[in-house]
Every structure is written in structure tokens, then in C-alpha cells.
Amino acid sequence: MSPTAKYVAFRSAKEFTFAERKATYKLMHIALKETRLGLRNSTTRLPFRYGKACLTRCPQAVFRAVIEVDGQAQAGYSGDCLPPSWFDKAPGKAFDHQIEDMLWVIAEADASYRTELALPGSFFAAWQTALADVHAACVARDLPPLLASFGASVVERAILDAICRAKHVSFAKAVRDNLFGLVPGDVHPQLTGLQPRDWLPPQPRDSIYVRHTVGLSDPLTAGDIPMDERLDDGFPQALEEYVERCGLRYLKIKVSNQLERDIERLMVIAAIVQRHRGDRYGVTLDGNEQYSQAGDFDGLIEAIRREPALETLWSNVFAVEQPLERGIALSAEHTGGIRELSQTKPVIIDESDGTLDSYSKAIELGYRGISSKCCKGAVKSLLNAGLTWLYNDRGRSHDYIMTGEDLCSVGIVPVQSDLCLVATLGLEHIERNGHHYHRGLSYLPRQQQVAALAVHGDLYAEQNGIVAPRLVDGRFQIGSLQCAGFGFAVEPDMSAMRSPDEWEFASLQ
């Protein structure tokens, strides 16, 4: 089936039977009246190296959607960074070209949603059509499906936020009450007759453990930092400083497909956490598609298993994330090692999660899990959580996993919505790295920082002259995210941002 056909096979809302509507939700009709995209630059406090890319500067995007529901207008927001070489890893494509593509795909999604909701209609029907439209447009332009999902998700999340605000409910309550009118069985037949409340926990989490990212160029000890690169901003810089000061108990370690360097680096990390945590910690290994040949990845696993100094670390690895590049990751020819490893260590997909059927395909090939990221679609995460629940015999086993992952998200909107999503899913920990690579909310006007602190004082604190997420005993407190909307009570100041037409790539230099 072609990438386009697999989406247009969905039924429209008009084709749902009366019994289905009555059994699943009270259909809400909304109209999309106004949209706007704003950009604001941010600079990292230290470089974030992942895969073949390195993030030091990027635009932060915020999307505003105004809907009309029950005769009242309501604004909602979404946000994300526009990072280099994650959605699209085409060789030789420059960062400025990648940003152009990211802005283009958001505009495509915007146009589709505006067409579908020009007159009042259901969110779910519009979501189906917009997702199909954007994927078809990306196929025609030879852009990856992961980028299509990103563009659609930006508009999707702003509308979800607006619906929650219009009805004065939190995202978690809206999902459990199926305010968004989701019909899971129409996307995944296995979920027919079910609603999200059937697989979600009764209450969202009010705190969550941070799985700290160890990037490929991150210093591991203070001694690794040259004097001229030592930051004087009051925040930890080396991994050991984070473990000591913040009580980390979960790590996400990037590997580079440089075998000797990876093994040496893993041994140093293992020694650090052993000193401070003993054997009480958890680890995920992230390949970031670094392996174009399955044999190279298999060699890494063999080397880890042979090294006595890595015995405890390997026993604490509970998932391996997207080792193979997406071109071969969902190919039976290249995933024999994945099938073997997943019998003892779940291997999950992340960048290969471009379409709605990616997870099912991965499971058939031997993978045992998937990641949740707002940037890939909140509705997709909710439905994938339902599939995970089914694969686990309706929650009676734990063989398949969903992890919470990060796009170097920063506050206010991006990081809080993503935290709100995983809190709703009931995940115990999530990769978080925006607070590590960025100086908190320092890229925002002071007024916005103070406003976030006032209403989300469990998550943020005044630290070293700025408002930044507060990490205590390895956890974020996130109870305040259960406010009306998608996890944030403070609306962003769009007047402080530039439109895509006004923004210039040269401003990042």
C-alpha cells in the first residue's frame, strides 16, 4: 500500500454509525478561525551532539490556533524547536534548507486544517484528513514521513489545547472523557470498541523521573572540561555533577558507531553512576540511526556483553532505541539481530515512527516498543499506548514498552505539553535534556519567565538569575500541569516573535 493510500483508507466522521457515535463520544463541532506561527531564536549553553548532528542554535516555534466552539472563540498553542538533522537526515541537506522544509510542512498542515474546519466539524475527522494531506504532500516533495507527522502535529496540538481551554479541562481529563472524539478502532482495528480511558491510568502523574541525556560530546567529569570551555552559570555541566547534585537515577546514553570510543565512554559512565548510585539506576542506549549496517550494531552489543566493567550497566539497560537508520530499520533482511536482542532487551523505534502503522510493522519484525514524543503527534502517542497495552495482554504483562523521549524541548509550551502527555500516559520517567543544554527559560522575555514561575512553581524555580526547571532527587514535580489546556497556564507572547516571513536564517549566526 502506498504512503498516501494507507491514510485515505480512514472513514470520515459522516460514515460513523449512530451507534458508534453514541458508544464512543458526544461529537463536538469546532471551526478553525485564525492561525499564526511565531519564531524566536535560542542558543544552547553547551553543544548537543546526537547522531551526526550538533545543536547549538535553532529557532523555537510557537503556533497559535483560534477555534470557535459553542459560539465562543478560544486560542490554543503548541510549540517545538526546529532542530538540525532529526526529522530529515538526507545527506548534504544544509540546516537552512531543513528549516525551510519544517516551516513549509507546518504551513501545509495549517492549510489542510483550515480547509477541513472552515465550517464546524469534528476534530477527529479533520485530524485524519489533514494527516493524509500532509503525508501526500511530503511524498510528492520527496520528504520523509517523520517530517510530515511533525508538521501535522504542530497544528493538531494547538487545536487540542484550544479545545481543553474552551471546556475548562485539563488535557488528561479531556483524553479520558474522550472530548476530542477519538475512535481508536478506525485507525487500528485491534482497538475497535475501546477508548483511551480503557488503557490509561485513572490519574495522570504529578511527578516524573528524568532520564538524563548523555550526548556524544558531553563532558563526563569536571576534569574533562578544558578551562576555556568551563561554564560559569551555576548549573551542572559534566555528567558526574548532575548525578551528584540532582540525584539522577535514569540515563539515556548516545552511542556513535565508533566501537572503541563507545565502549571506553560507557565504561567511564558506568564507573560514575556506580560511585554515586551503586547498582540502582536504569539506562537506555540511543543509536540515533547511526548504524547503516546491522552487523556494526550487533558488534556493539557483543562488545558490551564481553566487557566485565559493563556488566552492571548492561544489566540495567531496559531499552535500546533506534540503532538502525530508518532506510533499513523496518526491513526483515536487516533486523535479525534486533529480533534476537529483543528477547532479552527491548529494542524500540523512534525516527522510524513516521506513519500510523509503523509500530505494528516494527512489532512484526521483532521490535518491542516505541517512543512517545509530542513532535510526532499527541494522538498518535495515545493510540500507540493502546497498542502497547494490547500487546501486553491488556496490561497483564510488561513485555512491550513505550518510552518518553525528548526533542531538546524547552519551556514554556513545548516542554510542558510533552510532560503533560507522558503524565497522561502514566510513564514513570522521560528523557529530558532541554534544561541541560539550554539555560532554562532565559531565551524568553523576563515577564514570561516570571509568569511561568508564578503558576508552575512546582516545575520551575529561580536559579542563578533565571527561571529554570527544578530537578530534585532525579524528578520533576509536574502537578501544576493539570490546568485547563495542554499543560501550561501561561499563554505565550506572540508579539515577541517573528513570523516566518520576517525571520532570517542569518539571525542564528
pLDDT, one tens digit per residue, over 297-317 is: 999 999 999 999 999 999 999
Least trusted range by pLDDT, from 2-6, 23-27, 133-137, 176-180: 2-6
Among 151, 169, 187, where does a domain finish?
A: 169
What's residue 11's pLDDT? 35
Same domain for 257 and 149: no
Same domain for 411 and 331: yes
Same domain for 248 and 113: no
CATH number of the domain within which 141 lies: 3.30.390.10
DSSP E strands: which ranges in 374-465? 401-404, 429-432, 460-463
Which H or E element spans position 78? strand 72-81
**Phi and psi torsions of 389, nearest 5°:** -60, -40
> In this structure, are residues 307 and 264 in contact, taking their beta carbons and an 8 Å threshold?
no
pLDDT in tens, 155-186: 999 999 999 999 999 999 999 999 999 999 99
Number of compact structural domains in the chain: 2
Same domain for 205 and 165: no
Q: Could you tell me which of 113, 194, 120 has the C-alpha nearest to residue 154?
A: 113
- Amino acid symbol at 215: G
Residue 423 inside a domain? The answer is yes
pLDDT in tens, 334-371: 999 999 999 999 999 999 999 999 999 999 999 999 99
What's residue 154's pLDDT? 98
Residue 506 inside a domain? The answer is no
pTM for this model (two decimals): 0.94
Same domain for 106 and 235: no
Q: Is beta strand 347-348 parallel, antiparallel or unpaired with respect to 317-321?
A: parallel
Among 133, 153, 169, where does a domain finish?
A: 169
Residue 348 inside a domain? The answer is yes
Name the one residue in this structure whose C-alpha cell is 556493539. 300
Same domain for 115 and 230: no
Q: Which DSSP category does 324 fall into?
A: B
pLDDT, mean over the chain: 94
Least trusted range by pLDDT, from 10-19, 223-232, 363-372, 495-504: 10-19
In 3-state terms, what secondary structure has residue 146? helix
| Grid cell in block for residue 17 | 454509525
Q: Residue range 79-108: average pLDDT? A: 97
Most distant CA atoms of the chain, gap in Å: 69
Confidence class for position 27, pLDDT limits 50, 70, 90: confident
Same domain for 237 and 377: yes
What's residue 509's pLDDT? 84
Question: Which residues, in sequence order, are CB contacts of 437 under 8 Å at separation 6+?
Answer: 44, 45, 46, 47, 48, 55, 215, 408
Cα angle at 468 between 281 and 56, to 5 degrees? 85
Among 169, 188, 204, where does a domain finish?
A: 169
What's residue 341's pLDDT? 96
**Separation between Cα atoms, residue 292 and residue 476, nearest integer Å:** 36
In 3-state terms, what secondary structure has residue 423? helix
Same domain for 452 and 315: yes
> In this structure, are residues 380 and 357 in contact, taking their beta carbons and an 8 Å threshold?
no
Residue 245 inside a domain? The answer is yes
Same domain for 164 and 203: no
Kindly report the three-state secondary structure assignment for every residue of 441-458: CCCCCHHHHHHHHHHCCC
Same domain for 136 and 84: yes
Residue 414 inside a domain? The answer is yes
Question: Which residues, in sequence order, are CB contacts of 172 under 8 Å at separation 6+?
Answer: 203, 204, 420, 423, 424, 482
Q: Residue range 373-377: average pLDDT? A: 97
Q: Residue range 442-453: average pLDDT? A: 96
Q: Residue range 478-504: average pLDDT? A: 97
CATH number of the domain within which 369 lies: 3.20.20.120
Residue 189 inside a domain? The answer is no
- Count Cα atoms within 13 angstroms, Cβ side, for 171: 32
Confidence class for position 22, pLDDT limits 50, 70, 90: very low
How far CA 18 is from CA of 127, 194, 405, in Å, comes to: 20, 16, 38
In 3-state terms, what secondary structure has residue 171? helix
Range of the domain at 465: 196-496
For the chain, what is the total number of helices (H) and then of strands (E)?
18, 14
Helices 145-167 & 378-391 angle (0-180, nearest 10): 100
Residue 504 inside a domain? The answer is no
Same domain for 389 and 273: yes
CB-CB neighbours of 306 under 10 Å = 10
More confident residue, 133 or 15: 133
| Grid cell in block for residue 431 | 528523557
Q: Could you tell me which of 155, 108, 94 has the C-alpha nearest to residue 136?
A: 108
Q: Which DSSP category does 388 fall into?
A: H
Which H or E element spans position 158? helix 145-167
Same domain for 106 and 242: no
Handedness of CA 492, 494, 498, 500 (dihedral sign): positive
Residue 182 inside a domain? The answer is no
Give 313: exposed, middle or buried? Use CB within 10 Å, 0-12, 13-18, 19+: buried
What's residue 26's pLDDT? 61
